[in-house]
Structure 1
Amino acid sequence: MTRLTARVQHRDVVLAIIVLFALIAFAPAPGSDLPKVSVTTYHNGIARQGVNSAETILTPANVSSRRFGKLFSQGVDGSVYAQPLYVSDLYIPGRAIHNVIFVATQHGSVYAFDADSNRGAGAAPIWKVTLADAGAGVTSVSSDDVACGDITPEIGITGTPVIDPDSGTLYVVAKTKESGQVVQRLHALDVATGAEQRGGPVTISGTVRGKGAGSTNGWLHFDALHENQRPGLLLQNGLVYVSWAAHCDGWPFHGWVMAYEASTLEQVGVWNSTPDRQGGGIWQSGAAPAGDGEDLFFATGNGDFTATKGGSDFGDSILRLGWRRGSLRVLDFFTPYDEANLNAGDIEPGSGGVVLFSAPKTGHQLAVETSKSGTLYIVDPTRMGHFNASSNNNIVQSLPSATGGVWGTPAWWKDTLYVGPSYDTMKAFRFNPDLNLFELSPVSQGATTFRFPGPTPSISANGDRSGILWVVQSDAYVDDGPAVLRAYNAADLSQQLYASSDNPRRDDPGRAVKFAVPTIANGKVYVGAKDRITVFGLR
């Protein structure tokens, strides 16, 4: 397959090509009637639109409690915070061709399962790799070690891996404890065997100039204990991007982004969001940074902001970062006018990922970011607006308190933005092509009110038809209760098609974990939980 990430001038064209190839990443097996879909990165593509537009099996007409439900589960050794990834028609040495679902756990393990069956040869994993080795004194990290109960009882693999379909490599970061010290490593695993490749693993470290929290003699060093590799990984233009935030805002912490050559795992860039202050973590409720084929886009959480006063600190901001001449640099940014109040109230952007999309009439690329306050920020990635002390009229559009607070990433399909708020219902906002703005009121909304954290929606569709919006309701995680898989008619969110809670004895997907994202591919839906991966489909 031709590498998709060659630098070109027309970014919208690049974005469209990347989304297509992220979905159809492997050739179909001989005799297949239609190309099969692969989901190789967080939220289906690096634009993070959350859409599988090549779903020909599941439709609003056949997804119901009578015809659709749980098919089987596979047990795993820890909680599944990372979105499951999927490769179709993968050749496994000695086992022929399989559709494979990849599952990463907080115990530090990566599993490759047959995606279609748990019977016969599918009863056991195709392969399993545990990146911790208790026998050698290498374990996952206890939540007590980071003094934070957000992820319990252990921390191993949190961020969603990324798969390079060209080389057949799965990139993943694992956090381990070794001889009393916490270490983070970037691994490159062969998708067919689980074997390390590309010279991996490599130990993650990084240093930048700065006098911020935790610095020594004018230098700031990456802290593997305090830094939480929460966001998914981004693979773009031959580089793997890894980013970090904190565990429970445990000081000292900063936002970090590091870039590695995908072919060698050589580190080629290190950037810190608050080198002279503190905070500014990149967590996004698990969302990976978005990419346009060349640069990356993300939001930072609460922290210090000094960029308009000659500083280099970018808390509470939406940023465009680029790798130029051997280093990572801020190319553009937007910070809300009321950043100080947002920071003080802990209601800033950064609780979800940036979504890139093209305006329907002009084709011009735009970016949208949600926030804990429920405000939607729409920016032009080529002129992001920087900071205006009096208002947000320096960006394309701001929709204050459009929804309840959002801890997740929207989905984009058919000129509509789908948002899953907390203490609110699912909402769909239409982009008006004549005004080149979003309409202020939702065109449809669901009936179910979600508690914290609210869901991250994903959509399956056959082109611009048969759209289904899928969410994993995970608010029962507080009481160790069950996750709920829900499906809505994407054309009208008031029509709920399916809920696993309608038949819990048959369809229970397992105990909920926060920020779970469903993966939809080739007629099946995959849901991660505390100790299993559950597969749903037509019965």
Structure 2
Amino acid sequence: MTARLLTLLAAVLSPAAAQTNVLTYHNDNARTGQYLNEILLAPSNVKTGLFGKRFFLLADGAVYAQPLYVSRVNVAGKGFHNVVIVATAHDSVYAFDAFTGSGIVTQPLWKVSFIDPAHGVTTVPAADVGCGVIPELGISGTPVIDASSGTIYLIAETKESGSRYVFRLHALDVTSGAERPGSPVEIQPPGFVPLTHKQRGALLLANGLIYSSWSGHCDLGSYHGWVLAHNAGTLKLAAVFNNTPNGNGGSFWNGGAGPAADADGNIYLVSANGDFDADSHGSNYGESVIKLSQQLAITDFFAPFNTTNLNLLDLDLGSSGALLLPDQSGSPAHRQLLFTSGKEGRLYLLDRQNLGGAQVGSDSGAVASLDFSNHATFGSAAYFNGSVYIAPENSAMLAFPVAGAVLASLPVAQTPDTAGDHGATPSISANGDQNGIVWIVSVEDAGKLRAYDARDLTRIYDSNAQPADALYNYAEFVAPTIADGKVYVGTFYGVAVYGQTGAAQAVINAVTNAASYATDALSPGSLITLFGTDLAPVTARARATPLPLSIADVSVTVNGLAAPLLYLSPLQINAQVPFAVSPGPTKIVVRVNGTLSAPLDISVRQAAPGIFTDLDGQAAALNRDNSRNSPQNPAAVGSVVSLYFTGQGPLAVPVDDGAPAPIGPVIHAMLEASATVGGVPAEIQFAGLAPGCAGLAQMNLKVPPLPAGIYPVIVKMGGVASNAARLSVRSGS
């Protein structure tokens, strides 16, 4: 394969799977908080003056749920977008474009609301439940998204006519917000009283089921720690677990964290104040770490030795959720570990294969029980590069190494400042194991976003360092979301979006066919190359298909439509023209860190074939044995050669922008195809998309009768000729 084509295909066919989406609370079902595909943000450039608040996504209520990020959503009637999903306590769900915010007037791509005040359907006022922790109860738990089906799952609470309180599980189409068939379903398992319960924990998608965890309101009245499992396809209730069936309490509130799941589908939760008698063969599991089967049968548990004291002093073990550590942190004796901590401030490391049961006198059944401080933790810890990060309230954030199933007795690093009441839930951004940053949102000064170098917890950014970067208001227990060079923070009024600032304006000097470098050979679906200055802050490429709409906070639009990206650098971008761009005059724009280039006028043709070549002009072609055609390996007369180009024109079957063509059946080009080798017409056996590739076309042609030699090959699509490339031919069959 030739050098120029290899450069492009490296972006398309890499076996690495890029993590570009944030589909669940704290990024994964283990709840590690890691976003490891961040190639732009680094400790060297996250600082005041280079990084700050870019725009604000105004919503109709408080955003307690972590914002979720979905790339390449084909929004109904609006084309492909990278989308931020925002759920509010006012019972609304928004889909915002992740890149085009401006000020605080950004319009959503779509919005749905689950209230109807004119017909008596509202959110639930805090006064109705007697607990003012959340002033308005609507959607509090973080939704979860199934990328394969494009479905958002969430639970909304409403107050309806006759003072009827209702929870419903909704399944929404991510492209439009429309309810999926069978959605919503009312949540009312036997014995469940909606008014006395709250759905604060994040939802979990595992085993084809949607798991939800439940709590009471400020420990008031009669309530239980419920876990429900609904079928993700039908939304039918599949399983129920009650933490205190013969008692009271045992909330799963966890500071907004949700149940965790391991690779085998086991579910892990941490309960709060409540009755406990599992040590005497009872069925009540307050103040416990609990392991459940896929169908919610309890299979193991851990209860601290001082459970009674925790209950008496309101020191909920379940103020935080469970963090499942990767296997490399374990040992032969304890291969799979779980970390948690609670209001007491004690840190627990447990063996997931043997949690330890009810402890007496000490926590000897735990791998570690570290009574390090009396500062409570809420939400979730995070894990990165061998350390667990916790941000207790009114304390420094701390990093504790875990290796060989040993939790260090002292932190290896701590921040120079403290988080206020309720502490914070750390989130991690990094490029693999490099450039790690720990992000937290805490309550001080009406809320602020801070960032720390993950290596030593040196503070590198504080949103309150300059007025323009301040959060609008703090929403309790929020976890920041990092995706593609930006940080999304839920607040009491919407989502603040942070990223690189002060970027130089990109300048586009030329746009060419990516194969021929001709400026007049651009067509819908073809690969193109942009040349200019300040086109990107880094050099990077797409890591998988479908191709991303942005890389490192850089995007390209053609006639306002997002162009999938293959490669970018300060001087060059390779992209694909969206199929929906109409032939004729149009404009192309590059957005770098929110700053738009001046538009460049270009002309798009119905077809514009360009043959890929190497630096010597040799065609990107494969002989019939799939070996590369070259002067040393010519194709036999009468044999079939596969020639690779771009710009084939309309297709018989539509293909999404940036998506690879299917391996089979093949997709044919609709325009008449022809080719000549050395001026002699060649028989065309196929012209269409190259299977498995995005934006790449393939023509299979039969080498015409010619003497041995090197000949110019030219293809035509709909009568439009390509550049001439060199094809090596030998005589004989």
TM-score range, shorter-chain basis? 0.7 to 0.9
Aligned to 1:3: none
Aligned-partner Cα distance in 2 for 1:185–1:405 = 32
Secondary structure of the 1:138 match is coil
Query: How far off its partner does 1:279 sit?
Result: 0.6
Query: How far off its partner does 1:432 sit?
Result: 3.3
Give the alignment partner of residue 462 of structure 2, picking from 473, 476, 499: 499
The one-letter code sitting in structure 2 at the alignment partner of 1:524 is K
Secondary structure of the 2:63 match is coil
More displaced stretch, 341-350 vs 47-56? 341-350
Evaluate the alpha carbon distance shift between residue 305 and residue 475 of structure 1 in structure 2; reply closer, same or farther with a 3 A threshold. Answer: farther
Aligned to 2:277: 306
Aligned to 1:345: 313
Give deviations 1:386-410, integer Å, cap 9, x for gaps.
0121210111111113462111211
Secondary structure of the 2:329 match is coil
Contact in 1 for aligned 2:394/2:423 (Cα 8 Å):
yes
Aligned-partner Cα distance in 1 for 2:418–2:21 = 32
Query: How far off its partner does 1:98 sit?
Result: 0.7
Structure 1 residues 142-181: aligned runs within 5 Å: 142-152=125-135, 154-179=136-161, 180-181=163-164
Aligned to 1:74: 57
Query: How far off its partner does 1:36 sit?
Result: 5.9
Aligned to 2:353: 382
> Aligned pair 1:469/2:433, yes or no?
no
Aligned to 1:248: 218
Give deviations 1:488-528, integer Å, cap 9, x for gaps.
000011x1110000002x11121111101100000000011
Secondary structure of the 1:123 match is coil
Give the alignment partner of residue 287 of structure 1, picking from 257, 281, 292: 257
> Aligned pair 1:488/2:452, yes or no?
yes
Evaluate the alpha carbon distance shift between residue 507 and residue 161 of structure 1 in structure 2; reply closer, same or farther with a 3 A threshold. Answer: same
Aligned-partner Cα distance in 1 for 2:167–2:197 = 9
Aligned-partner Cα distance in 2 for 1:59–1:466 = 5
The one-letter code sitting in structure 1 at the alignment partner of 2:49 is R
Contact in 2 for aligned 1:198/1:265 (Cα 8 Å):
no
Aligned-partner Cα distance in 1 for 2:330–2:270 = 27
Aligned-partner Cα distance in 2 for 1:252–1:124 = 42
Structure 1 residues 211-290: aligned runs within 5 Å: 221-290=191-260
Contact in 2 for aligned 1:519/1:526 (Cα 8 Å):
yes
Aligned-partner Cα distance in 2 for 1:92–1:348 = 43
Aligned-partner Cα distance in 2 for 1:475–1:311 = 43
Aligned-partner Cα distance in 1 for 2:121–2:160 = 5
> Aligned pair 1:531/2:499, yes or no?
no
Give deviations 1:449-469, integer Å, cap 9, x for gaps.
222100000000001100000
Aligned to 2:378: 407
Give the alignment partner of residue 425 of structure 2, picking from 456, 467, 472: 456
Aligned pair count? 484
Query: How far off its partner does 1:123 sit?
Result: 2.9
Aligned to 2:364: 393
More displaced stretch, 279-288 vs 443-452? 443-452
Evaluate the alpha carbon distance shift between residue 361 and residue 309 of structure 1 in structure 2; reply closer, same or farther with a 3 A threshold. Answer: closer
Give the alignment partner of residue 70 of structure 2, picking from 71, 75, 87: 87
Contact in 2 for aligned 1:80/1:530 (Cα 8 Å):
yes
The one-letter code sitting in structure 1 at the alignment partner of 2:478 is A
Aligned to 1:124: 107
> Aligned pair 1:141/2:134, yes or no?
no
Gaps of 5+ in 2: 1-10, 502-733
Query: How far off its partner does 1:257 sit?
Result: 0.5
Larger RCO, structure (CA 8 Å, separation 6 or more): 1
Aligned-partner Cα distance in 1 for 2:141–2:407 = 31
Secondary structure of the 2:223 match is coil
Give deviations 1:74-97, integer Å, cap 9, x for gaps.
210000000000001211122111
Aligned to 1:509: 471
Contact in 1 for aligned 2:55/2:102 (Cα 8 Å):
no
Give deviations 1:268-305, integer Å, cap 9, x for gaps.
11111001110100000000110013111010000110
Evaluate the alpha carbon distance shift between residue 319 and residue 441 of structure 1 in structure 2; reply closer, same or farther with a 3 A threshold. Answer: same
Secondary structure of the 2:499 match is strand
Percentage of pairs with the same residue: 44
The CA RMSD over aligned residues, in Å, is 1.8
The one-letter code sitting in structure 1 at the alignment partner of 2:171 is A
Runs of 4 or more, structure 1, over 2 Å off, are 33-36, 358-363
Aligned-partner Cα distance in 2 for 1:247–1:491 = 39
Aligned to 1:23: none
Aligned to 1:421: 392
Aligned-partner Cα distance in 2 for 1:475–1:66 = 22
Contact in 1 for aligned 2:29/2:262 (Cα 8 Å):
yes
The one-letter code sitting in structure 2 at the alignment partner of 1:94 is G
Aligned-partner Cα distance in 2 for 1:252–1:78 = 29
Structure 1 residues 361-376: aligned runs within 5 Å: 362=331, 364-376=335-347
Give deviations 1:328-347, integer Å, cap 9, x for gaps.
21110000011101111111
Aligned-partner Cα distance in 1 for 2:18–2:400 = 31
Evaluate the alpha carbon distance shift between residue 389 and residue 113 of structure 1 in structure 2; reply closer, same or farther with a 3 A threshold. Answer: same
Query: How far off its partner does 1:475 sit?
Result: 4.5
The one-letter code sitting in structure 2 at the alignment partner of 1:331 is T
